C-alpha cells in the first residue's frame, strides 16, 4: 500500500473509531445506530474532505469508511433488516409515546433554524444525531429508522459550490423532518389505541383552509394566476385559499405566523406545491412539502418552469403535473375538485385563466 494511502487508513481508523465510540455511548445502539448515523451526509463530507484535501485514492477512502460504518462481520447483527418493521420495538423503547412525541415536535421546531447554517455546520450533525437517538429511544418501527437513514443520502460533484451543497443538505433535512412527523403520527395512533374505547376523545381539528399553496415569494405572480384559475373553476372564496405572498390570501394580522402555517400545512384539505427553481431553493417550502409528505396527506406538486427531474428524495415518488401543459392544468383542476368534493365549473368560465397561467409560465 502506498505511504499516503497507509496514512489515510490510519487517520480514518483513528477519527472514525472515536466517532463510533461516541455513538455507542450516547445512542446505546452502536450496531444499528452507527450504520444509520454514518449512512448520510457526515460520511460523505468526511470522505470528500479526505480524498480532496489529501489527494488520495477514493477507493481507499470509501473502503476504510465502509469498514467503520458496518464494523467487523460478526458485529453487523442485529441488522435493521432482520427486525420486525411493522410494529414499534417495545424491547428497546426507553421513552413513553407521549414524551417521545414532545421531543420529536421540539426537534421539528429546532430544525427550522438549521437551513440558514452552512452545509458543514456542526449544528446539522448535532440535530441529526439527536433526532436519530430520539427515534430509537421512542421505539419507532425499523422502516421509519431506515427512512431516516435514506433521507440523509446525498450525491455531490467535487466541483459543487458551498451554496449548492447547502441546498442539497437542506433538501435532506426536509426529508428527515418528514420522517419525524411520520413517527409522531404513528406514536399518536398507538397512544390512542392504548386508551380504553370509552375514554377516547375524538381528535379535534380546528377549521382551516381548503387549499394551501406552498410557494416561494419570488413566484407570487404565478401563484396569483393559479389562485384566479382555482376560484374561477371551482367557485372558491378568498378565505378558502392560503397563499402567504399574495394580497388577499395572506395570514390574518396578528396571527402567530409559524404556528398558524404549521397548522394549515397539516390540516388543509388540499395542498398544492408550486415547484420552481426558487421554491426548491427555499427551506420553508421544503419544510412545508416534507411535513405534508410525512403526514401522509394529499399533496399535488405543480411544476412551473422545471421538469419532474428537479424533485429529489422521497417527494420524487409523487406524480407531478405541469403548468406548461393545458391538458395537465385541466387535470389539476379535476384532481383538486375531487379532493374538495366539488365539481369543476363550465370551461367557458375559466378557460381564459388556464391560458393565462400556461403562457405566464412559458414566458418566465
Over residues 80-126, the pLDDT tens digits come to 333 333 444 554 577 888 889 999 989 988 888 888 888 888 999 89
Q: Which three cell numbers stand for residue 255?
A: 396571527
Burial classification of residue 173, based on how many CB atoms lie within 10 Å of its CB (0-12 exposed, 13-18 middle, 19 or more buried) = buried
119 vs 17, residue with greater confidence: 119
| Close Cβ partners of 6 (under 8 Å, ≥ 6 residues apart) | none
Beta bridge partners of 213: 272
Contact of 329 with 357, CB cutoff 8 Å: yes
* pLDDT tens figures, 200-248: 454 444 547 999 999 999 999 999 999 999 999 999 999 999 999 999 9
Cα distances (angstroms) measured from residue 156 to each of 41, 45, 48, 120: 10, 10, 9, 14
Interatomic CA distance for residues 54 and 185, integer angstroms: 45
Interatomic CA distance for residues 187 and 221, integer angstroms: 40
Contact of 214 with 273, CB cutoff 8 Å: yes
The closest of 61, 64, 75, 86 to 33, measured between CA atoms, is 75
Residue 160: what pLDDT? 76
Calculate the average pLDDT of the chain.
76
Mean pLDDT of 186-199: 64
Helix (H) or strand (E) holding 326: helix 326-339
- Give the count of beta carbons closer than 10 Å to the beta carbon of residue 118: 13
> Is 50 exceeded by the pLDDT of residue 364?
yes
Lowest-confidence region among 123-127, 156-160, 188-192: 156-160
Q: At what angle do helices 3-27 and 58-70 cross, to 10 degrees?
A: 30
For 11-64, the DSSP string reads HHHHHHHHHHHHHHHHHS-HHHHHHHHTTSHHHHHHHHHHHHHHT--HHHHHHH
Mean pLDDT of 322-341: 96
* pLDDT tens figures, 270-322: 999 999 999 988 888 988 888 888 778 899 999 999 998 888 777 888 999 99
% of the chain surpassing 70 pLDDT: 69
The alpha carbon dihedral of 4, 10, 14, 16 has a sign of: positive
Confidence of residue 2 (pLDDT cuts 50, 70, 90): very low
Looking up cell 407570487, which residue turns up? 220
From its phi and psi, is residue 297 left (phi > 0), alpha (psi between -120 and 50) or beta? beta
Residue 10: what pLDDT? 56
Contact of 70 with 35, CB cutoff 8 Å: yes
Mean pLDDT of 125-129: 91
Amino acid at each position: 500500500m502506498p505511504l499516503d494511502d497507509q496514512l489515510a487508513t490510519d487517520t480514518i481508523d483513528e477519527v472514525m473509531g472515536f466517532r463510533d465510540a461516541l455513538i455507542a455511548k450516547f445512542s446505546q445502539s452502536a450496531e444499528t445506530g452507527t450504520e444509520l448515523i454514518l449512512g448520510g451526509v457526515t460520511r460523505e463530507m468526511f470522505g470528500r474532505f479526505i480524498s480532496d484535501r489529501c489527494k488520495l485514492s477514493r477507493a481507499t477512502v470509501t473502503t476504510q469508511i465502509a469498514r467503520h460504518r458496518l464494523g467487523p462481520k460478526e458485529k453487523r447483527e442485529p441488522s435493521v433488516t432482520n427486525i420486525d418493521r411493522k410494529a414499534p420495538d417495545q424491547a428497546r423503547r426507553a421513552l413513553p409515546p407521549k414524551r417521545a412525541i414532545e421531543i420529536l415536535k421540539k426537534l421539528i421546531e429546532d430544525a427550522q433554524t438549521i437551513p440558514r447554517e452552512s452545509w458543514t455546520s456542526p449544528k446539522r450533525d448535532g440535530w441529526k444525531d439527536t433526532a436519530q437517538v430520539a427515534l430509537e429511544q421512542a421505539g419507532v418501527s425499523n422502516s421509519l429508522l431506515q427512512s431516516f437513514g435514506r433521507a440523509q443520502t446525498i450525491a455531490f460533484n467535487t466541483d459543487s459550490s458551498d451554496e449548492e451543497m447547502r441546498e442539497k443538505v437542506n433538501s435532506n433535512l426536509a426529508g428527515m423532518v418528514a420522517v419525524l412527523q411520520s413517527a409522531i403520527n404513528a406514536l399518536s395512533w398507538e397512544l390512542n389505541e392504548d386508551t380504553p374505547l370509552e375514554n377516547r376523545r375524538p381528535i379535534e381539528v380546528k377549521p382551516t383552509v381548503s387549499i394551501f399553496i406552498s410557494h416561494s415569494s419570488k413566484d407570487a405572480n404565478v401563484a396569483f394566476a393559479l389562485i384566479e384559475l382555482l376560484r374561477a373553476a371551482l367557485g372558491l372564496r378568498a378565505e378558502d385559499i392560503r397563499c402567504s405572498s399574495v394580497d388577499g390570501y395572506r395570514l390574518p394580522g396578528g396571527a402567530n405566523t409559524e404556528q398558524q402555517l404549521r397548522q394549515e400545512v397539516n390540516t388543509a384539505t388540499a395542498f398544492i406545491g408550486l415547484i420552481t427553481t426558487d421554491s426548491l431553493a427555499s427551506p420553508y417550502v421544503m419544510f412545508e412539502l416534507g411535513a405534508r409528505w410525512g403526514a401522509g396527506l394529499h399533496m399535488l406538486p405543480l411544476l412551473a418552469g422545471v421538469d419532474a427531474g428537479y424533485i429529489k428524495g422521497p417527494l420524487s415518488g409523487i406524480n407531478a403535473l405541469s403548468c406548461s401543459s393545458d391538458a395537465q392544468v385541466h387535470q389539476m383542476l379535476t384532481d383538486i375538485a375531487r379532493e374538495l368534493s366539488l365539481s369543476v365549473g363550465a370551461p367557458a368560465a375559466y378557460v381564459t385563466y388556464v391560458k393565462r397561467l400556461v403562457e405566464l409560465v412559458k414566458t418566465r
